[in-house]
Each structure stands twice: as structure tokens, then as C-alpha cells.
Structure 1
Amino acid sequence: MVAAVAAGLMVSSAADTGFAATAPDAAAVEQVVSGFAGKAGYPGIAVAITKGDQVLYTGGYGHDSAGAAVTATTPMPVASVSKSFTALAVMRLAEAGKVTLDAPVRDYLPDFRIADPRGARITVRELLNQTSGITDGTFPEKSLPQPASPAAAVTRARDATLAAEPGTKHYYTNTNYHLAARLVEVVTGEPFADYMRRDVFEPIGMRATTTINQTPRDLPDNLRKGYIYAYGMSIPATEPIRFVNGSDGVITTADDMAQWLILQNSGGLAANGTRLVSAASVAAMHTSSDPRWTYGMGWDTDLKGRVHHNGIWFTYTSDELLLPGGYGIAVIGNSGIGLGNEGVAALTDELATLVAGGEPQTGAPVRLIVDLLLAALTLLSAFLGVRNLRHTRDWAARLAPRPSWRLALRLTPRVVPLALLITLPDLLGRIVGGGRDMTFLQLCYYSVPLVAWSAVATVMNIGVLTVRVVALIRARRSVEAPPVPDGSARLATG
């Protein structure tokens, strides 16, 4: 059940903006959330909905991997939604006169060096709006050894090169925000997590929120494992080893996210009256500074012109959305992304429709359908492989007389599944992830069925290839070998 923890049903004054006259009640939210959870395979989901400086709704649905109910106070990671927190921390320092956004990063991080000399020109703003020129392609941060701290992340970045001149193109990469976290540390003289707790989280009432350096090493004891999904089953899994601070290290609750949404929709003013940054700084974070891209600083603009940011771990996903009329929605789910599921942004959209007075559409369980199709392909690959192995002798006897080059051409496609399996992390990162880096282990988290199909197809095809080559050699030897005379022939010619 969804546990509604809110200040009742708030009357909306935004009727002229196309939004509902009253906030959705708990039953309506529960119906939308449970419908999404059922189709997308999410065991547990937490939700916060706000308007202006009021909390309309916070609550949880389902359970965590220990079997406990997910509530408005259940700690959950918000993944890359963390970037909006890091951006605000830097903006606070900028307003205090301690950081100049258009100054080179090296002014604040003397140790910052990359392999490309153009890196000396990267500014603080270019880190925050993801236009430094560093990409997952020029610096595959997930595939490299993972640092233990922001300082170590700066050292690791020395091997980075640039895909473009700083400030000319937008490339989303976690590395920019790893560097921003270290910048906060150096400027403030204290660990990033301590600064965030004292100067960002606690002042606005986010007392259950923290940020960590590395998964799974630094995960709080009260944070339960998230899930991966395969063939209709949700499987508890430990998040892979990754450095996350600054980019996706914030762990929070639905109650705390409600306070964050209020701050964003109130021009930097918290519900308790604390001002963290000016309205101008909030607007700057929400808005792209260049028409060539939509990303501001820690926030993006979607195709409908709404301000948002999603978050993806391999075992959790999240989304935050700011709507016209002062509405805010945050969603955190305890299952990772995969084929047929790109996170909880679809649920955020459904809740936005509900808030606007519309009828959300649950839709088909695409995630399950994709996995069942992959399961069918896996079984088909196994069946075809076994059938080909059983007919190897007949195949070899029939084709042995053909030229070797023709046989080689015929057998070469058998190595295609192996090549696909080896390159699959890179292909998925480019095709589905927009150029993001991914390791083979992380691919297994992303889609067990896809890896299983690729592995079965590889094993069966390499097996068929090996057995057929051996069978061809034997068949040719039997054809080319001279007949052995029997005893009567030797006697007749003796």
C-alpha cells in the first residue's frame, strides 16, 4: 500500500495553467504507481509530489529486498539526480564569491591535468553544463579502476582527452561532476559529503540524506540492495563497484525529496524559510545557456519544455520533474534499467498527467515482453545448435569435395555471435546509452536475457564450427587416402 504522508488534499490555485483544481488523493496515486510497478517490474517505489511550498503527497509502494515496506522514509539512492545537488553546491560557492563560474577549473584545482592541453581552458560552468569536451568515449570512467575519493578521481582524470573544444558541444559524462565534487572540497576545505550535509541537506530539512564516494563500499547500513530484472523475476543484487560522489552518490527519502522540490520551485527558498541560493541561480541551473543543447547545470529540459533530471544505477532508478504552476514530482524505484525499461521517468509522466487532471495510461509490460522474446531466441539458438551438431557427419560428407575457400566462407558466420558477445557492452553503450561507457559485468546487470542469448548463440556456433572443421578434415582424409590392398590381392601379384 502507498503510505500517504502529506498535508491533506491541497487546493490548487493553478486552474488557469491547465492543472487540476485539487491535488490527487492517495488512492489515485496508489493506482498509478501500482500499475506502473506491475508492468515495469519494480518491487518498490517511493514518490513525492509538491506544489509551491506545500507537500501534497509523499509515500511508498511495495517492498525492499529485505521484505520491509517501502515508505516515505525509506532510504534510496537517486543516482544522477545527484548532479542537481552538486550544481547547487557550486552555485552557493559562486554566490559567496569563492568560485567564478567562467574561470578555469585549474584556478581551484591546481592538480587538475588531462592528457589534452585544451583541458587547461575548461571552466567551472563547462563542468556543470557538461560541455567540457570530456566524454565516456575519450575517458571511459566506468571501465577504468574506480577511485576511492574525489581527489583520486581528479588524479585518474589525467588520462582523459577531449572530443571537442571546451564549451562547444554537450557530452553527458559523470566525470564532469566527479571533478565538481572535488572542486567543492578544495574551495571549502572539507570533505564533499560533510559540506553537503551541513550546507545543503540539513538547512532545508533533508536530515535523512547523505552522499557517498564509492559503491558498494560506502553504502549506509540501512540501504537495502536494489534489484535487477530477468524473465519476469526481480532479483536482489549488489550495486557494482563505482565511484559516484558528485555525479550519482546521493541517498535520500521521499520525504526529503519533497523538501528539495519545494526549494527548486520556490526560487532557492526552502519550506522552512532558509534561502540556499538566489532565484537567479536557480533559473540559471534550470536553463541551458546555449541553444545548441538543452542541459542547464544539473538539470535538463525535456521535449515538452519541462525541467527534469533522471537517475540510473544498475539496481535503482529515479527521476525529478518540475511542472508549470509550481508542481514538483520525484520518483525513486528499487530496480535498474534494462531493455524495455529506461527507468521511472515514465511513471513521473503518468503522475504529471494525474496532477494535470488527466487519465494516466498504464500500457503494456514491455520489459517482460522483451525478456520473453529474448528467452525464445535463446531456446531457438540452442535448438538450432543441437540440430546442426547432430547432422555434422552428413554435412561434412556432402561438402568435403568443395574448395577450402568456399567452406571457409560458409563457416565464417559462425564466429559472428562471438564477436557480438565481445563487443556487446560497447554496442549497447553507443546504441542505447548515447555513447556511455559500460563494462561486461554492468551489461549483465542491464540485461541478463540479452547476455544469455548472446552466450548460448556463441557457445552453440563455436561448437558447431569446431565439430564441422574436425569432421571436414576427417572426411577429406578418408577420400584422399589410397585403398589398402587385402591379403588375396598381395598373393595374386606375388
Structure 2
Amino acid sequence: MLRTSLAAICLALIPNIPASVPASVDAYVEQYRAATGLPGVAVAITKGSRVIHATGYGQTATGEPVTADSPMAVASVSKSFTAMAVMQLAEKGKVALDQPVRLYLPEFTMADPRAAKVTVRQLLNQTSGMADSTFREKSLPQPETLQGAVARLRTAKLATDPGTAFSYHNTNYQVAARLVEVVSGQPFAAYLGAHVFEPLGMRHSTTVNTDRDLPGSARGHLYVLGQAVALPEPAGFGNGSGGVLSTANDMARWLIAQNTGLPGLLSPQAVREMRTPSKPNDEYALGWEIGKTERGTPVLEHGGDLFTSTAHQLLMPDSGYGIAVMANTGLVFSDAHALMTGIAAIIEGGTPQPPSGSSTLLTDVLFALLTLVTIGLAVRGVARARRWAGRRTGWQLWRLAPYLVPITLCATIAPIHRMLAHGRDAAWIQLAYLYPTFMVWLVTAAAAGLTVVAARLWGAARLRRQ
């Protein structure tokens, strides 16, 4: 109560900041958590050079309370940090944004002569020509380092000519982060620590390479049957594109720096350049997206999704507000984005949409029931295998073919997903995180089908021996 009262008094002294914002945000976040089952979330809200609210709610995947100093994954929000690191090098004259990447990073080679023309700016605004359709970054074996992330491009080709089309592709930012390493002579984590985190007072922030580097506080959950289930993040590499870990307090410092022009870190001209979109996509700049709130307020933002956590940051340049949200649930529900939308509505004087429960609960229940039915049918099929074999011999064994459909679908689900997702890549295990109950049913159906086929063939073989 004392902390809340002091916060209200301080906020009342700040012009144009409603003292009710923190209380309204607290009530909204708790209402959201109660409706959705979201285990834990951290929120930072700033205005100009002041922190309005920075706190945590709920628990981490390891059962610890989420606080304003709990390091959590910010996923692709990391791209804003990588872009800033590159811009700092550009300000020092060590990199020119419109020069080829290979001029500074000779190891950047691809099985495509057009790669020699890819510029530094095209990496940052995602118009390099690299895309999931020609380089399956998620389903390929994952690298361990930024150097390895660049090395595996040697057999890849571009999807389009550089600078002609936008394609959101994480490898762009992994190459950019490796460029920072080579040009600065420092590991990427050390560079961010010395030139971004330390100057801003972001004492609990860092960047990591792979899922194995995530601390307990940054691990997350999947929603299954309406319940949040703590699970490890699938294997993946994210440094440069999605490896930053930060806290509500640290993200507040980042938002303040962004809304006050990044004094001492970048010049006003460089800040404007970072926020200028490309011709192929007028909504994506250098590590920032350009958009509007539901009420039409212009914003700069960027979201981030891991398979077990999400994050979102948003700046309102006209009013000086900044918001950051980090939630420990996966990308299917995008809890961080939903909370961000609601908090922005509160700041704008509106009322956020009331949160609802899991939108996939009915689907999950149906697939759970289908899994049980599939198991029951498999048991029945095995029990009656000899009787079935006695009625069907020789060419009639082709009737077993439909039982092999699930295993065929299991084996081809990744390329089918790529086709349905317009080329977006995903590994098989990642699909299990995206569609858990469907994949459980599919694997069960595949195992059931194989078991029934094996039992019936064995029954037929025994009859022939008699």
C-alpha cells in the first residue's frame, strides 16, 4: 500500500500522466492472467525521461516470482538492439550502410553471385533477398555461434534480387551481429554490454546464442487444454536476431533512451535513419516497425516470439510514452502483443478489450478425444488382427494402405506446413509446439496405424504357416 501511494503521489506531480495508469494496468494484467492462465509477465511503462511503472506479475517457469529484475527473453525485439549496434559503427565511420556486407565481412558468401551486392542496410531492413523459401534457417542443423550462422549460408541462394523485396528472415540479423563482431573486434555480447547495456544502466541484460543459454527466469510455457505447461524451448540459434535477455527495469531504461533521442549513443540523424522504412516495405525500418494503435496513434514497435515466450515494445513519439511487455507463453497466443494493445488503450484514455480464455481449448479437447478414440480403435484392430487376416489374403492386403496415411503425414508435415505458411520454415519439433494436441494425435495415429498393420501382417503370416 505504501509503495502504491508513493507512486501515485509521484505520478500526480508529472504533467500529463494520469495517476491511475499504474493501478489500471495492474488491474488489467491481473484480469488478463485470470482469464487466460498466463503464468508470468513483466511490464515497463515510461513517459519521456521518467519510469511510470516497471513490475512483474505471476511466476517464472521454475516457480519463482516474476519481478522487475527478472531476466526474460525479448526474442525478436533483439533486432532493435542489433540495428543500434550497427548504427553506432556507422556513426564512427567503420561501416557504411549502403556498402556491400562482404566489404566488412568477407566470410559472408552464398551460392548466389547476387549476394556480393547485399548491403548492410538491406540486412537491417530485411530486403537482402534472403528468405525462408530458399534457406530453411529453422529446420536445418542449428549453429552454435554467429560465425557458424554465417558459415552455413555458403550453400544458400537468394529468393530475390537484393533491395527489391521485403522478407522477414532472422538470418539477416545474425549476419549483422557477426558483422559487429568482426568490425569491432569484440564478441557480440561484449559489444552490446559495453556500448549499449552499460551506458544505459541495463545491468541485468545480455544476449545469448542458443536455447541452452536461457536462464530459468527466461524459460516459458505452452497452453495445452487451456493450461500453461512449462516446457523447454526447442533447439534453436537466436543471437543477433532474438537472443537478448532483459528485465522490466532495464527495458524501461531502453524505452526512455529511445524516446529522448538516444543522447550519447547515436546522433539525431542516425536515430531518424533507423526509423526510416525501405521502399519495398514502408512499415519496416531498421529493427523497428512503423504502425498505429487501434485509436490511430503513430507508433514505433517491434514484437518478438519464441515458441515458449513472447515480447513486445512500443514507442509513442508524439506523447513520449514507451511500453515493453515480456510474457512467458509461446507465440501461438502472443500474450505480450495482446497485453501491449490493452495497455496502449489505457494510456490513450480508452478501455482495453476484455481478455478471453484460450481460443484453442475446443480444438484441443477435440484432438484429445480423437487421440483416445484412435488408441481404442488400434487396440480393437490388434485384437481382431487374426480374424481380419483370415478373411483377407493375397492382393486384399492392399486394404492396409489407409493405415499408413498418418505415418506418411508425419514424415511430410514440415514441407506441408511450409507450403501452407507461404514458405515460412519450421522444424518438425517446432510444429509440435505450435500445434501440440494435433501433433500428439498425429503421432498416436501413426503409431496406431503401424501397430495394426504389423499385427494383421503377422496374423496373415501365421495363417499361411498353418
Write the distance in 1 (CA, Å) between the matches of 2:442 and 2:35: 25
In 2, the alpha carbon distance for the partners of 1:199 and 1:290 equals 30
Aligned-pair CA distance for 1:38: 3.4
Determine which of 228, 244, 263 is the counterpart of 2:238.
244
Q: Does 1:208 align with 2:201?
A: no
- Separation of aligned partners in 1, 2:284 and 2:14: 30
Q: Within 5 A, what are the aligned runs for 1:188-199? A: 188-199=184-195
Is the 8 Å Cα contact of residues 105 and 122 (structure 1) preserved in structure 2?
Answer: yes
For structure 2, list consecutive stretches of 5 or more residues without a partner in the other structure: none
State the match for 1:451 in structure 2: 439
Give the corresponding residue for 1:65: 61
CA drift of 1:469 comes to 5.5
Is the aligned partner of 1:355 residue 2:347? yes
| Residue 259 (structure 2) aligned to one of 260, 265, 277 | 265
| Structure-2-length-normalised TM-score | 0.87
Is 2:346 the counterpart of 1:346?
no
Give yes or no for the alignment of 1:167 onto 2:163: yes
Q: Is 1:460 matched up with 2:462?
A: no
Equivalent pairs counted in the alignment come to 457
Distance of 2:320 and 2:100 partners within structure 1: 35
Matched letter for residue 413 of structure 1: P
CA contact (8 A) 1:170 1:293 kept: no
Amino acid at match of 1:301: I
Aligned-pair CA distance for 1:466: 4.1
TM-superposed deviation, 1:251: 0.8
The answer to whether the 8 Å contact 2:222/2:228 transfers is yes
Distance 2:126 2:12 in 1: 38
Q: Which residue of 1 aligns with 2:100?
A: 104
Letter in 2 for 1:362: P
Residue 364 of structure 2 aligns with which residue? 371
The whole-number CA distance in structure 1 between the counterparts of 2:250 and 2:416 is 37
Superposed CA RMSD? 3.0
Asked if 1:418 is matched to 2:411, the reply is no
Distance 1:457 1:241, change over 3 A: closer
Q: 1:369 to 1:344 in 2, by over 3 A?
A: farther
Q: Quote the offset at 1:471 in angstroms.
A: 5.9
**What SS class does the counterpart of residue 119 from structure 1 fall into?**
helix
State, as a whole percentage, how many aligned pairs show the same letter. Answer: 46
- Greater mean deviation of Cα atoms: 440-449 or 173-182: 440-449
Q: 1:112 to 1:55 in 2, by over 3 A?
A: same
Q: CA deviation at 1:147?
A: 2.6
Separation in 2, partners of 1:196, 1:407:
64
When residues 429 and 10 of structure 1 are mapped into structure 2, their CA distance, relative to the original with a 3 A threshold, is farther
Q: From the CA coordinates, give the structure whose radius of gyration is larger.
A: 1
CA distance in 2, matches of 1:67, 1:436: 34
Aligned to 1:492: none
**Cα distance in 1 between the residues matched to 2:158 and 2:362:** 40
- 1:305-324 counterparts in 2 under 5 A? 306-323=299-316, 324=318
Q: How far off its partner does 1:35 sit?
A: 2.7
Which residue is 2:326 aligned to? 332
Change (3 A) 1:29 1:337: same
| Residue type at the aligned position of 1:119 | A
Aligned residue number for residue 11 of structure 2: 9
CA drift at 1:442: 2.8
Aligned equivalent of 1:230, options 212, 218, 224:
224
Q: Could you tell me how far apart the structure 1 residues matched to 2:103 and 2:19 are? A: 48
Q: Which moved more, 1:59-68 or 1:74-83?
A: 59-68
Q: Using the TM superposition, name which of 441-450 and 415-424 deviates more.
A: 441-450
Change (3 A) 1:166 1:228: same
Aligned-partner SS, 1:449: helix
2:425 aligned partner? 437
Quote the Cα distance in structure 2 between the aligned partners of 1:141 and 1:78.
Answer: 20
Q: CA deviation at 1:177?
A: 0.7
3-state SS, counterpart of residue 261 of structure 1: helix
- Which stretches in structure 1 are left out of the alignment for 5+ residues? 15-20, 482-494
Q: Deviations over 1:229-250 (max 9, x none)?
A: 3334433333343322111111
User: One-letter code of the match for 1:350?
Assistant: G
Confirm or deny: 8 A CA contact 1:40 1:367 kept in the other structure: no
Moved more, 92-101 or 143-152: 143-152
**Residues 219, 291 of structure 1: CA spacing in aligned structure 2 closer, same or farther, 3 A cutoff?**
closer
SS in 1 for 2:319: helix
Within 5 A, what are the aligned runs for 1:11-30?
Answer: 22=18, 24-30=20-26
Name the CA distance, whole Å, in 2 between partners of 1:54 and 1:366: 37
**Is this contact kept in 1: 2:371–2:441, CA < 8 A?**
yes
1:372 partner amino acid: V
Residue 47 of structure 1 corresponds to: 43
- 1:203-258 per-position Cα deviation (integer Å, ceiling 9, x unaligned): 12212211122331x445x7453333333443333334332211111111001111
Distance 1:294 1:366, change over 3 A: same
| Worse-matched range after superposition: 157-166 or 25-34 | 25-34
Identify if the C-alpha distance between structure 1 residues 427 and 322 changes in structure 2 by more than 3 Å, giving closer, same or farther: farther
Q: Distance in 2 between matches of 1:23 and 1:388?
A: 67
Q: Does the CA contact (< 8 Å) of 1:173 and 1:436 recur in 2?
A: no
In structure 2, the CA distance between the partners of 1:168 and 1:412, relative to structure 1 (3 Å rule), is farther
**Secondary structure of 1:90's match?**
helix
In 2, the alpha carbon distance for the partners of 1:425 and 1:453 equals: 16
3-state SS of paired residue (1:66): coil
Q: Alpha-carbon deviation of 1:397?
A: 6.5
In the TM superposition, residue 289 of structure 1 has moved relative to its aligned partner by 1.6
